[in-house]
């Protein structure tokens, strides 16, 4: 069956359906996610998504045999577990936010193949992938996430009956084949799809299936209430509930379950989860360490890329469910730092583990809990190929989550970045574009376009770091409505909007110092984290630097060519330099923002275990001369120091 994919603006506009609110007895959503395709990137964010499509994502099926035509999800004989579904879960949103014909056709081929792979009993896909147990529910949970997005963007009528039959299968079989290992720790991902389906069909037995999954699934609420993993995991203590990706996915679990349980304790548990991860394993970029199990607060421990994109996805869901602006702040902090920071600027190569203090990226033993020697090089599949399959969801789902619908018929700018949103408000098509260099610049300029005047609230967020944030309604019809102070986390501007109306939002971005592990300092400005700019020498250790189609993509080691062992001298202040984001927004050679600061070398701070040694306890005495240093966005820096010891200041 051929499913038509809309290409022109008017076709897409016609297809954009109303967001679907939660159906009783599910708790109402704070914000209702917009269907995939409603939000599209502009400006530097469009370039970034294009870089992803032109980099490894757009070449993965030829560059990586795992996702080639012999994949079991395409009817072949290899892989057949999570890699195909992971890739599809990122390919579908990337294809639709870019409206890229090649990627749309590619996603369609996977979807069409999967939609033919349903057994009479409802089971989806291979019964047993090589090296895996039979009837493993986990990869199917990812397939369902990809299909819900595909349905939102295309209206494909096959999806709802297909999903219904699979959940019918689970309903029948969960007692005899209960959740196991990965699926047991990631059960909330299946509940997301169950609730999505319930909201559309109203089949109450779907909630019974969700209830069964919650009973069989790992109890993350109890895990964090009685949190015992307060340091680095010993090698013999690595189990599924200390696993970094399971934890990043679990950030959303209690919130997702709260929708059905209505138990305020589940809501509270979301805050407890984030608090425990921050307190014992947190990093300056808002992520936590896991290489690949809980690894403590030291900034040379690693965080797996899968955990970065899954933490983002957890936050995107939580923003809709609970509407806390702090989740939006953290989403931006991870998306604008930890995500780009673990790729080369051209997105042809990624790391498995990133470090906040990353002085050297080589194949060498490091003090990971259990990862391999190649985990921090930039390449095709360092350490293990899960991230190679799973990272594709990062940017496009972030784009899709920049706007959400409000329950009272308005639109909320749930995260800031250059984009446009298309929605129907009271039957009227409305487009709002956000013209901005954010997060590199503090001003976001919104322009409304609508065929006829439309009355609705435009809801603006005040990030917690933005003191004196203000919105100026440039097209105000009276002086009173011109200036809107953003004092609360969310401020609605209620008026009748007309085509050409403009609102400029200014979010003052002072440089902020944050005290961290061993009394070190990390510098923030707006949602950006800053890192020492270190000269780098790349060494190609596999593949081609600029691969032609079907050639092996590059693996890079990166060595420092300039000193990195600096203690920051904050009393000398900071000077800022800004320029528009370049063709590659996260290129270390042309960062959009530079902070100039003063620092002194700390000669005794050297490499230990092929990483920067333990951060010297601050303040640090140093006789070294006062040097000028440059700090650049974390996301631009392949090598970096992010947590700095500080100089002892003269009394």
Binding site for Zn ion (CB under 5 A): 304, 306, 386-387
Report in angstroms how near the CB of residue 387 gets to Zn ion at its nearest: 3
Q: Which residue blocks in 155-252 are alpha helix, DSSP H?
A: 159-173, 181-185, 187-201, 205-216, 220-225, 244-250
**Cβ-Cβ contacts under 8 Å for 236 (sequence gap 6 or more):** none
- Return the number of the residue (53 or 309) whose C-beta is nearest Zn ion: 309
- Return the number of the residue (382 or 457) whose C-beta is nearest Zn ion: 382
327, 337, 313, 315: which is closest to 391 by C-alpha?
Answer: 313
Calculate ∠ Cα 642-643-645, nearest 5°.
Answer: 130
- Return the number of the residue (304 or 316) whose C-beta is nearest Zn ion: 304
Residue 264 backbone phi and psi in degrees, to 5: -60, -25
Report in angstroms how near the CB of residue 390 gets to Zn ion at its nearest: 6
DSSP state of 476: -
- Return the number of the residue (163 or 306) whose C-beta is nearest Zn ion: 306
Report in angstroms how near the CB of residue 393 gets to Zn ion at its nearest: 12
- Return the number of the residue (302 or 320) whose C-beta is nearest Zn ion: 302
Task: Say what the alpha-carbon torsion angle 13, 14, 19, 25 is, to the nearest 10 degrees.
Answer: -170
Rounded to whole angstroms, the Cα distance separating 566 from 350 reads 27
Report in angstroms how near the CB of residue 90 gets to Zn ion at its nearest: 13
296, 445, 304: which is closest to 371 by C-alpha?
Answer: 304
543: three-class secondary structure by DSSP: coil
Q: How far is CA 493 from CA 401, 444, 484, in A?
A: 20, 15, 8
- Return the number of the residue (304 or 501) whose C-beta is nearest Zn ion: 304
Beta bridge partners, 459, equal: 412, 492
Report in angstroms how near the CB of residue 375 gets to Zn ion at its nearest: 10
Report in angstroms how near the CB of residue 96 gets to Zn ion at its nearest: 24
Tell me the residue number closest to Zn ion, measured at CB. Answer: 306
Report in angstroms how near the CB of residue 383 gets to Zn ion at its nearest: 8
Beta bridge partners, 294, equal: 290
For residue 515, the tally of other CB atoms under 10 A from its CB is: 12
- Return the number of the residue (209 or 248) whose C-beta is nearest Zn ion: 248
In our burial notation (b when 16+ CB lie closer than 10 A, e otherwise), range 433-454 reads: bbbbbbbbbbebbbbbbbeeeb
- Return the number of the residue (29 or 94) whose C-beta is nearest Zn ion: 94
Kindly give the pairing relationship between strand 411-413 and strand 454-461.
parallel
- Return the number of the residue (360 or 387) whose C-beta is nearest Zn ion: 387
Report in angstroms how near the CB of residue 551 gets to Zn ion at its nearest: 24
CB 569 within 8 A of CB 597: yes
């Amino acid at each position: 069956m051929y499913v038509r994919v809309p290409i022109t603006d008017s076709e897409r506009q016609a297809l954009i359906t109303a967001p679907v609110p939660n159906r009783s007895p599910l708790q109402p959503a704070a914000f209702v996610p917009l269907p995939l395709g409603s939000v599209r990137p502009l400006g530097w964010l469009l370039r970034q998504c294009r870089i992803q499509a032109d980099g490894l994502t757009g070449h993965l099926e030829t560059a990586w045999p795992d996702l080639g035509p012999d994949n079991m999800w395409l009817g072949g004989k290899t892989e057949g577990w999570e890699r195909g579904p992971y890739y599809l879960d990122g390919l579908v949103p990337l294809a639709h936010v870019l409206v890229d014909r090649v990627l749309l056709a590619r996603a369609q081929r996977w979807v069409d193949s999967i939609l033919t792979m349903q057994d009479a009993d409802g089971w989806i896909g291979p019964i047993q992938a090589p090296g895996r147990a039979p009837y493993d529910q986990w990869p199917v949970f990812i397939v369902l996430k990809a299909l819900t997005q595909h349905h939102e963007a295309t209206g494909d009528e096959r999806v709802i009956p297909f999903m219904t039959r699979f959940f019918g299968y689970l309903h029948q079989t969960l007692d005899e084949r209960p959740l196991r290992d990965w699926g047991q720790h990631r059960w909330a991902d299946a509940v997301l799809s169950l609730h999505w389906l319930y909201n559309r069909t109203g089949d109450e037995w779907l909630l019974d299936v969700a209830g069964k999954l919650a009973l069989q699934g790992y109890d993350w609420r109890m895990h964090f209430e009685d949190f015992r993993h307060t340091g680095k995991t010993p090698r013999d203590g690595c189990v599924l509930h200390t696993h970094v990706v399971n934890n990043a996915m679990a950030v959303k679990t209690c919130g997702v379950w709260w929708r059905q349980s209505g138990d305020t304790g589940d809501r509270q548990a979301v805050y407890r989860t984030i608090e425990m991860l921050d307190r014992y394993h947190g990093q300056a970029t808002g992520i936590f360490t896991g290489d690949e199990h809980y690894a403590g607060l030291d900034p040379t421990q690693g965080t797996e890329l899968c955990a970065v994109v899954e933490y983002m996805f957890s936050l995107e869901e939580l923003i809709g469910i609970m509407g806390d602006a702090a989740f939006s702040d953290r989403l931006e902090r991870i998306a604008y730092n930890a995500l780009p920071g673990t790729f080369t600027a051209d997105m042809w190569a990624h790391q498995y583990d990133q470090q906040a203090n990353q002085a050297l990226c080589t194949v060498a033993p490091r003090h990971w809990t259990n990862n391999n020697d190649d985990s921090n090089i930039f390449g095709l599949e360092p350490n293990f190929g899960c991230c190679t399959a799973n990272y594709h969801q990062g940017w496009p789902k972030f784009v899709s989550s920049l706007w959400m619908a409000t329950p009272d018929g308005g639109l909320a700018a749930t995260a800031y970045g250059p984009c446009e949103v298309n929605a129907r408000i009271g039957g009227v098509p409305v487009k709002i574009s956000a013209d901005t260099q954010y997060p590199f610049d503090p001003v976001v300029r919104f322009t409304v376009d609508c065929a006829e005047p439309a009355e609705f609230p435009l809801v603006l967020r005040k990030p917690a770091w933005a003191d004196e944030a203000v919105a100026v309604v440039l097209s105000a019809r009276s002086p009173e409505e011109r200036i809107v102070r953003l004092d609360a986390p969310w401020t609605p501007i209620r008026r009748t909007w007309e085509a050409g109306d403009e609102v400029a939002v200014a979010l003052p971005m002072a440089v902020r110092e944050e005290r961290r592990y061993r009394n070190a300092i990390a510098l923030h400005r707006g949602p950006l984290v800053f890192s020492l700019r270190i000269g780098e020498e790349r060494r190609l250790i596999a593949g081609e630097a600029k691969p032609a189609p079907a050639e092996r993509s590059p693996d890079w080691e990166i060595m420092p060519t300039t000193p990195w062992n600096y203690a920051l001298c904050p009393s000398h202040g900071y000077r800022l330099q800004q320029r528009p984001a370049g063709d590659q927004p996260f290129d270390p050679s042309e960062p959009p923002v530079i902070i100039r600061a003063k620092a002194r070398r700390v000669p005794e701070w050297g490499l230990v275990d092929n990483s920067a040694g333990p951060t010297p306890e601050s303040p640090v005495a140093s006789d070294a001369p006062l040097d000028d240093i440059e700090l650049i966005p974390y996301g631009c820096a392949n090598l970096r120091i992010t947590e700095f010891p500080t100089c002892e200041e003269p009394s």
